[in-house]
A and B are shown apart, each in its own frame.
Chain A
Amino acid sequence: MFYREVGQFKSTYAADMAIFPIRQDRIGIAVMLGLAVIAIPLVANDFVLASIMIPGLVFTLAAIGLNILTGYAGQISLGTGAFMGVGAYAAFKMASAFPQVNVIVWILASGVFSAGVGVVFGLPSLRIKGLYLAVTTLAAQFFLDWCFVRVGWLTDYSSSGAIEAARRSLFGIAITGPEATPLARYFVVLGLVVLLTFVASNLVHGRIGRTWMMVRDMDIAAELMGVRLLPAKLLAFAVSSYFAGVAGAMMVFFWLGAAEPSAFGISLSFQVLFMVIIGGLGSMIGSYFGAAFIWALPVLIKFTPNLFGIEIQSATVEHANSMIVGALIIFFLIVEPHGLAKLWAVTKQKLRVWPFPW
């Protein structure tokens, strides 16, 4: 009833080509941002911030990265976890080598390293397609995993083999390390994720994003439009790995505080891939949905019984959790194979014409 575009006439192409052409969508986004900036910090406790919001946002960023590669450019990758690792180790090395430079600079720069690594492992994509490419990217996963464990230089020869987030601050407030409050970390993470979502959304709505989708949908026709396939695919690998790398760096610095090589294993790659598939391939909002579904939902389910004062053994909760989430994944994929984003789009379409759908 309220979601309707009647009377919103567009008289310029700019207005028609806006990313949110309908006024209600723009208001919706503003409200969501308002909630994230004002309401959540006011009502949420440290647990919600540190265990749901921060990891949720970090995973969202990783999912956006993989979505650029798989959803927009059509190249399946199973190396996301390793690319996140490259970002994390790069940020760790640089933050300890140049402590005088602000850590946020290094976190944003760490993605450049994973972009470079991503390009190298993206080279086979010219010849290898689909599932075969996925297997090739597994090579990246295993090779980089090996590097994280074996190359001592990466961890500054720490005896435990783990990397740790150094103590750093922004405007005098600690944002990384043990002293940083969840609230401060949340604000930094939120700012970075919103900024990078904005960039990703601009990219996929412009010429470059269109080039990626051309390569995805019909590569011979794309060539005929003058697209050179290898540079287009490598750019997708670079941008995707950049996002994954920054997400990996944020994972260590703002969420976990320290990480062992096993944190960037194949299970992380799969987790992000599931977020992208459940959320919706080729959709920005889908990356948010996917991260919320795969990360936040299990945490919520786990702590719901406690909220109502019901005493259940944690093992039972754990089992129930897997079952519920598994069932929901199957349910959503049957209802809408194109993911939650498509479900969202269908709902909006229905609302637009409600209550007279004919």
Chain B
Amino acid sequence: MRSSLPPIAKGEPILQVENISLSFGGVNALTDVSFDILAGEVRAIIGPNGAGKTSMLNVINGFYHPQVGRVIHRGEARTGRKPHEAARRGIGRTFQNVALFKGLSTLDNIMAGRTLKMTRGFFWQCLRFGPALNEEIDHRRKVEEIIDFLEIEHIRKVPVGKLPYGLKKRVELGRALAQEPELLLLDEPMAGMNLEEKEDMSRFILDIRETFGTTIALIEHDMGVVMDLSDRVVVLEYGRKIADGTPDEVQNDPVVIDAYLGRSH
């Protein structure tokens, strides 16, 4: 419920991650990772496979709870917060391997993103008349705006199970947008896409920030995209932070180059 949250000035930290350590049994997924995300920026999280990037997003979301460290969101520490609470506090998310509701149409998937904003109770839902129907129509109008924005009018009524991969990713982005998040976490939004689709997606990401003022944190493997889109980049390797800075700084950091290309022995 974005409207219920006080606005946050551009450049102020919206989310701080402090000394996060997360392990599963004996496996350390994250070790002492700290960074921050400033309001209005595009923040990239990169690293080789298995570096702990998705685990990091899961910690921010509340799917995982770290053993050590805390996540400070809008100035309040939110250890132990559940995913649905994160949603209430304006954090949206897409998944690496598309997590759409496959039995529902594109329209219903995006409507699903509006769930929290619908308030009519059980009684009116039973009648689907008057206030409940009006509410549904109001939200449909919002959803149509998002459908227009993402240029997916033609697949409005298609069950998402039948859509090609690139469009699924776009629908998922639409679903996250329908939540009107203040902070949007994108987990590999361009994985498995061709050049044209990547360009489209990059354009959407920039447009989202431009139009809705959304802060974006994204994980991506395509370095060209990361360097072009992001304001700041944090690099993880084996669960540790090895670099943090602007794309130029990170690109020329010898530790990062070693992590990606391997070092000579």
Q: Which residues of A contact B (CB under 8 A)?
A: 12-14, 17, 19, 199, 202-203, 205-208, 210-211, 213-214, 216-218, 220-228, 235, 282
Provide the residues of chain A in CB contact with B111, threshold 8 Å. 210
* Segment from B94-102, B190-198, B223-231 that makes contact with A: B94-102
Q: How far is the CA of A225 from the CA of B144 in the complex (A)?
A: 18
The 7 closest A-B pairs by CB, nearest first: A202-B128, A226-B116, A226-B87, A217-B101, A223-B83, A221-B99, A207-B118
Chain B contact residue count (CB 8 A cutoff): 41
Binds A, one of B27-35, B131-139, B206-214: B131-139
Determine the distance from Cα of A19 to Cα of B135 in the docked complex, in whole angstroms: 16
Chain A residues whose CB sits within 8 angstroms of the CB of B141 once the complex forms: 13
Q: Does B24 contact A (CB under 8 A)?
A: no
Please measure, in the bound complex, the distance between the C-alpha atom of A282 and the C-alpha atom of B108, giving whole angstroms: 15
- What are 16 A-B contacts defined by CB distance under 8 Å? A13-B140, A17-B136, A203-B128, A206-B125, A206-B128, A207-B118, A208-B125, A211-B115, A213-B101, A220-B83, A221-B95, A221-B100, A223-B84, A224-B83, A226-B84, A227-B115
Chain A residue at minimum C-beta to C-beta distance from B92:
A224
Q: Which residue of A lies closest to B99 (CB)?
A: A221
Residues of B within 8 A of A217 (CB): 100-104
Bound: A218/B108 CA distance, A? 14
Main secondary structure of the interface of B (DSSP, over half): helix
Measured in the bound complex, the distance between the Cα atoms of B179 and A222 in whole Å is: 12
Contacts of A226 in B (CB 8 A): 84, 87-88, 115-116, 179
A225 touches B61 (CB 8 A): no
For the complex, what is the distance from the CA of A46 to the CA of B122, rounded to whole Å?
39
**Interface hits, B40-89 → A, CB 8 Å:** 61, 63, 82-84, 86-88
A223-B82, A225-B112 known; A206+B87 contact, CB < 8 A: no
Cβ-defined contact, A208 with B128, below 8 A = no
Least distance between A191 CB and chain B CB atoms (Å):
17
Q: Which single member of B102, B128, B132 contacts A218 (CB below 8 Å)?
A: B102
Q: State in angstroms the CA–CA spacing of A311 and B259 once bound together.
A: 86
Question: B113 at interface (Cβ–Cβ under 8 A)?
Answer: yes
- A213 near B118 with CB under 8 A, answer no
A135 → B minimal CB distance (Å): 25
| Any A CB within 8 A of the CB of B240 | no
Q: Is the CB of B116 within 8 A of A202?
A: no
Which of chain A's residues have a CB closer than 8 A to the CB of B125? 202-203, 206-208
Instruction: Tell me, yes or no, whether B120 is within 8 Å of chain A by CB.
Output: yes
Point out the residues of chain B lying under 8 angstroms from A225, CB to CB. 87, 112-113, 115-116, 175, 179
Given A218-B101, A223-B84, 6 more pairs with CB closer than 8 A: A205-B128, A211-B115, A220-B99, A225-B87, A226-B87, A226-B179
Q: Which residues of B contact A (CB under 8 A)?
A: 61, 63, 82-84, 86-88, 92-93, 95, 99-104, 108, 111-113, 115-116, 118, 120, 122, 125-129, 132-133, 135-137, 140-141, 144, 175, 179
The residues of B that contact A13 with a CB separation of less than 8 Å are 137, 140-141, 144
Which residues of B lie under 8 Å from residue A205 when comparing CB positions?
A: 128
For A227, give its contact among B84, B104, B133, B144 (CB under 8 Å): B84
Residue of A nearest to B87 (CB): A226
Contact in complex: B99, A218 (CB < 8 Å): yes
State the Cβ distance, B169 to closest chain A Cβ, in Å: 14
B115 touches A207 (CB 8 A): yes
Alpha-carbon gap, A226 to B116, bound state (A): 6
Query: Do B104 and A210 have beta carbons less than 8 Å apart?
Result: yes
Supposing A217-B102, A217-B104 touch, asked if A210 and B112 sit within 8 A by C-beta, the answer is: yes
In whole Å, how far is A309's beta carbon from the nearest beta carbon of chain B?
49
For A202, A221, A227, A228, which residue has the most chain B Cβ atoms within 10 angstroms?
Answer: A221
What's the minimum C-beta distance from B160 to chain A, rounded to whole angstroms? 9
Query: Which of B126, B127, B129, B141: most chain A CB closer than 10 A?
Result: B126
Q: Is the CB of B88 within 8 A of A207?
A: no
B82 — nearest CB in chain A belongs to which residue? A223
Q: Which residues of B contact A210 (CB under 8 A)?
A: 104, 108, 111-112, 115
Contacts of B95 in A (CB 8 A): 221
How far does the Cβ of A224 sit from chain B's closest Cβ, in whole Å?
Answer: 5
B84 touches A228 (CB 8 A): yes
Q: CB distance B126 to A203 under 8 Å?
A: yes
Distance in angstroms from B127 CB to nearest chain A CB is 6
Counting chain B CB atoms within 10 Å of each CB, the highest count among A12, A199, A235, A282 belongs to: A199
Complex CA gap A251/B197 in Å reads: 58
Which B-chain residue is minimally distant from A235 (CB atoms)? B122
Output the residue of A216, A223, A228 with the most chain B CB within 10 A: A223
Closest to B88 in A: A226
By beta carbon, the residue of chain A nearest B161 is A217
Q: Which of B82, B132, B179 contacts A206 (CB 8 A)?
A: B132
A207 partner, pick from B83, B136, B137, B144, beta carbons under 8 A: B136
Chain A contacts of B116 at CB under 8 A? 225-226
| CB closest residue in chain B, given A16 | B140
Which residues of chain B come closer than 8 Å to A17, judged between CB atoms? 133, 136-137, 140
- Within the complex, the shortest CB–CB distance from B117 to chain A, in Å, comes to 9
Q: Check B87 against A224 for contact (C-beta < 8 Å).
A: yes
Closest to B91 in A: A224
CA distance A352 to B252 in the complex (A): 61
Q: How far is the CA of A97 from the CA of B195 in the complex (A)?
A: 74
